[in-house]
Amino acid sequence: SDDVATRKLLMETQHSRLPAGDGSVDAMIGVVQTRDVLAAMLGGRALDPRRHVRSAPIVHDQADALDVLSTLR
């Protein structure tokens, strides 16, 4: 099932944040904190990743590197 695959992905990833898309990577809706979703799952709550989606920072390809780092913090 999708819940089993999601749980496996969250437990095996080295990343603290993962992109969240609406059906595909071309329809990004934000990012999820892996620990938030895992905590909900371990707490026995039903898996609803959309509850944990946060807006993703937007950086322009012409942005200064220091400005990008500041935005991503």
In the predicted structure, residue 1 carries a pLDDT above the cut 60: no
Domain of 43, CATH number, reads 3.10.580.10
Please calculate the CA angle 26-36-18 and round it to the nearest 5 degrees. 25
User: Token pair for residue 14?
Assistant: 């080295």
Number of domains within the chain:
1
Question: What average pLDDT does this structure show over 10-29?
Answer: 85
Tens of pLDDT, residue by residue over 27-69, are: 888 888 988 888 888 888 777 778 889 988 888 888 889 988 8
Instruction: Give the pLDDT band (50/70/90) at residue 14.
Output: very high
Q: Which domain holds residue 36?
A: 2-72
